[in-house]
């Protein structure tokens, strides 16, 4: 049976009725990885033997009627900034090239106890800093829809792996759009949950007040199933929220009559490609046909979101990345004669240009004389953005915007101009600044490349957000095809 194009919810049925074994399923995916990986290059590490062994163990437990969960036996890929015990966690950086975490991240504990099969670790922009996966210290990943284009970033490996059928589902991380941008460019569903819903324990930090583990999936229902598998309170992350368990899949009613959909006026025009604008407006017509009330709203401070992000993100990064000093783990420059030159040379040689750039910006905006002018000011504007967003979400159930200003750009197109690369995040950063959940779903194609529709919801109301995304997905008829490039 050909299993590669099937959604997770169908694979669950096939496994539960024992029509297929996990070994067979994982074997097919591993063969697919072997076939397309030379072209796509989505993975930094593939653990063939470990995956097959874990699959056989799940098959055995299922034969004994003791499968650990419905997801037992389903393969999954994990972004390489999420710690996996016994498997390298490199963050696509020279400085962590040989790092093997001695512990599992919270989300990895959850996947393992659910019996999911971790087939490998995916490529990314170094330390999750970038929008194209070209900042990987190892190699760029290709967009499965057009090999000359980037898959987006920073979770580009996870998005490309799902889009090219190398795995049915993957984990990524999202600090300013790093799950949603690649989801949009690769034509898959990408969810950034509410800040605090998923524990960050074992997620290598970039900017701790913005970072969140997210999901890349082939469809909204699979995304809902995965969210149920990784959400929950964890005392080891002090920002983890205590909430009741929600069955997100059961909450996909598909009925959105009377729901209010807001279109923030500030998210259109400017650098947004007219084809993208047109597709997003067409999507709002679909929502209207389903009985939703669509209305324009205004969020004036939205125009400052990207500027705020590029102060707060680098400031937090400059602190988070101070740990890469060559002392306790990671690369060390061994010819240094004293400790300070060891720190300087280790960091100078081990970190890539974009990471250095953000450490420099962060150090500058936090330095004496600049703190109030940049950092404190940005945190104050963040307060206003958050407040305006919460007000808009009082009378709107969801806000819709483009996920990205354009379709995927070409490899090399923006590598020399960091500011134009940063603009790719202009519609996504606001959900991280406000801490609210947001999802990107495919809504159209232009030049053969997918366009993503972003839906932004209320804090901790992923159930409603995913239900609206689900209703749209079902009605739009834009069934996610697997990219057939390879």
Catalytically active residues are 79, 154, 178
Using the rule CB under 8 A, which residue among 72, 160, 308, 407 binds other proteins?
308
Q: Are 176 and 153 in contact (CB under 8 A)?
A: no
CB of residue 377 vs other proteins: minimum separation in angstroms?
6
CB of residue 238 vs other proteins: minimum separation in angstroms?
4
Residues 364-383 that bind other proteins (CB under 8 A): 364, 367, 374, 376-383
Question: How distant is the alpha carbon of residue 140 from its chain centre?
Answer: 17
Question: How distant is the alpha carbon of residue 51 from its chain centre?
Answer: 23
Using the rule CB under 8 A, which residue among 28, 61, 239, 474 binds other proteins?
239
238 contributes a contact to other proteins by CB under 8 A: yes
Using the rule CB under 8 A, which residue among 288, 327, 391, 395 binds other proteins?
327
How far lies 133's CA from each of 127, 258, 379, in Å?
A: 10, 40, 28
How far lies 166's CA from each of 84, 206, 239, 439, in Å?
A: 19, 27, 33, 22
241 contributes a contact to other proteins by CB under 8 A: yes
DSSP alpha helix (H) spans, 367-484: 377-395, 418-422, 429-434, 462-476
344 contributes a contact to other proteins by CB under 8 A: yes
CB of residue 307 vs other proteins: minimum separation in angstroms?
4
Using the rule CB under 8 A, which residue among 61, 260, 275, 329 binds other proteins?
329
Provide φ and ψ at 296, rounded to 5°.
-80, 140
CB of residue 336 vs other proteins: minimum separation in angstroms?
6
How far apart CA 116 and CA 22 sit, in angstroms, is 10
DSSP alpha helix (H) spans, 64-209: 106-113, 156-163, 180-186
CB of residue 98 vs other proteins: minimum separation in angstroms?
8
Q: Are 442 and 149 in contact (CB under 8 A)?
A: no
298 contributes a contact to other proteins by CB under 8 A: no
282 contributes a contact to other proteins by CB under 8 A: no
Using the rule CB under 8 A, which residue among 434, 439, 455, 465 binds other proteins?
434
CB of residue 22 vs other proteins: minimum separation in angstroms?
30
H or E stretch including 118? strand 117-122
CB burial string 299-332: b at 16+ within 10 A, e below: bebbebbbebbbbbbbbbbbebbeebbbeebbbb
339 contributes a contact to other proteins by CB under 8 A: yes
> Binding segment for other proteins among 68-76, 213-221, 236-244, 270-278 (CB under 8 A)?
236-244
Name the residue nearer to other proteins (CB basis): 377 or 445: 377
Name the residue nearer to other proteins (CB basis): 219 or 240: 240
How far lies 82's CA from each of 78, 270, 304, 337, 367, in Å?
A: 7, 36, 30, 34, 30
CB burial string 207-233: b at 16+ within 10 A, e below: bebbbbbbbbbbbbbbbbbbbbbbbbe
CB of residue 339 vs other proteins: minimum separation in angstroms?
5
> Greatest CA separation found in the chain?
70
338 contributes a contact to other proteins by CB under 8 A: yes
How far apart CA 347 and CA 359 sit, in angstroms, is 11
CB of residue 369 vs other proteins: minimum separation in angstroms?
12
How far apart CA 67 and CA 72 sit, in angstroms, is 6
Q: How many residues does the chain have?
A: 486
86 contributes a contact to other proteins by CB under 8 A: no
Name the residue nearer to other proteins (CB basis): 101 or 406: 101
Using the rule CB under 8 A, which residue among 209, 277, 415, 474 binds other proteins?
209
427 contributes a contact to other proteins by CB under 8 A: no
Using the rule CB under 8 A, which residue among 422, 470, 472, 478 binds other proteins?
422
Residue 348-367 contact track with other proteins, rule CB under 8 A, x = bound: xx-x-x--xx-xxx-xx--x
Q: Are 375 and 156 in contact (CB under 8 A)?
A: no
Name the residue nearer to other proteins (CB basis): 38 or 235: 235
Contacting positions for other proteins (CB under 8 A): 98-100, 102-103, 195-196, 209, 235, 238-239, 241, 301, 304, 306-308, 310-311, 318, 322, 325-332, 334, 336-345, 347-349, 351, 353, 356-357, 359-361, 363-364, 367, 374, 376-384, 386, 418-419, 422, 433-435
């Amino acid at each position: 049976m050909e299993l590669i194009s099937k959604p997770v919810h169908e694979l669950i049925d096939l496994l539960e009725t024992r029509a297929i074994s996990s070994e067979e399923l994982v074997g097919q995916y591993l063969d697919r990885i072997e076939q397309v990986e030379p072209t796509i290059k989505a993975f930094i590490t593939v653990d063939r033997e470990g995956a097959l062994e874990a699959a056989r163990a799940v098959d055995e437990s299922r034969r004994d009627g003791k499968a650990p969960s419905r997801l037992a036996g389903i393969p999954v890929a994990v972004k390489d900034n999420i710690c996996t015990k016994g498997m390298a966690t490199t963050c696509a950086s020279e400085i962590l090239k040989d790092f093997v975490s001695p512990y599992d991240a919270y989300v990895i504990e959850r996947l393992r106890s659910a019996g999911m099969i971790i087939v490998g670790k995916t490529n990314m922009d170094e330390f999750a800093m970038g929008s194209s996966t070209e900042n990987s210290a190892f190699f760029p990943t290709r967009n499965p829809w057009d090999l000359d284009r980037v898959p987006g970033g920073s979770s580009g490996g996870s998005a490309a792996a799902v889009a090219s059928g190398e795995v049915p589902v993957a984990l990524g991380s999202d600090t300013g759009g790093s799950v949603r941008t690649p989801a949009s460019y690769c034509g898959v569903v990408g969810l950034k949950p509410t800040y605090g819903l998923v524990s960050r324990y074992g997620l290598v930090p970039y900017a701790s007040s913005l970072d969140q583990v997210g999901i890349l999936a082939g469809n909204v229902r699979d995304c809902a199933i995965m969210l149920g598998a990784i959400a929950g309170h964890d005392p080891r992350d002090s920002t983890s929220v205590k909430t009741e368990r929600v069955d997100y899949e059961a909450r996909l009613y598909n009925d959105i009559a009377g729901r209010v959909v807001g279109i923030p006026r500030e998210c259109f025009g400017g650098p947004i490609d007219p084809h993208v604008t047109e597709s997003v407006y067409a999507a709002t017509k679909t929502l209207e046909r389903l009985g939703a009330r669509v209305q324009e709203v205004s969020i004036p401070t939205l125009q400052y979101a990207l500027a705020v992000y590029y102060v707060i993100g680098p400031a937090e990064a400059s602190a988070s990345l101070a740990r890469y000093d060559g002392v306790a783990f990671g690369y060390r420059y061994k010819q240094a004669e004293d400790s300070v030159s060891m720190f300087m040379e280790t960091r100078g040689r081990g970190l890539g240009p974009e990471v250095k750039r953000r450490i420099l910006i962060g150090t500058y905006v936090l330095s004496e004389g600049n703190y109030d002018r940049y950092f404190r000011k940005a945190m104050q504007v963040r307060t206003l953005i958050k407040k305006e967003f919460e007000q808009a979400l009082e009378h709107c159930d969801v806000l819709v915007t483009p996920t990205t200003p354009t379709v995927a750009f070409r490899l090399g197109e923006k590598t020399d101009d960091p500011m134009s690369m940063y603009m790719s995040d202009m519609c996504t950063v606001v959900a991280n600044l406000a801490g609210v959940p947001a999802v990107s779903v495919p809504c159209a194609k232009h030049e053969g490349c997918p366009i993503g529709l972003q839906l932004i919801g209320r804090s901790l109301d992923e159930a409603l957000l995913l239900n609206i995304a689900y209703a749209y997905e079902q009605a739009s008829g834009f069934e996610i095809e697997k990219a057939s490039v390879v």
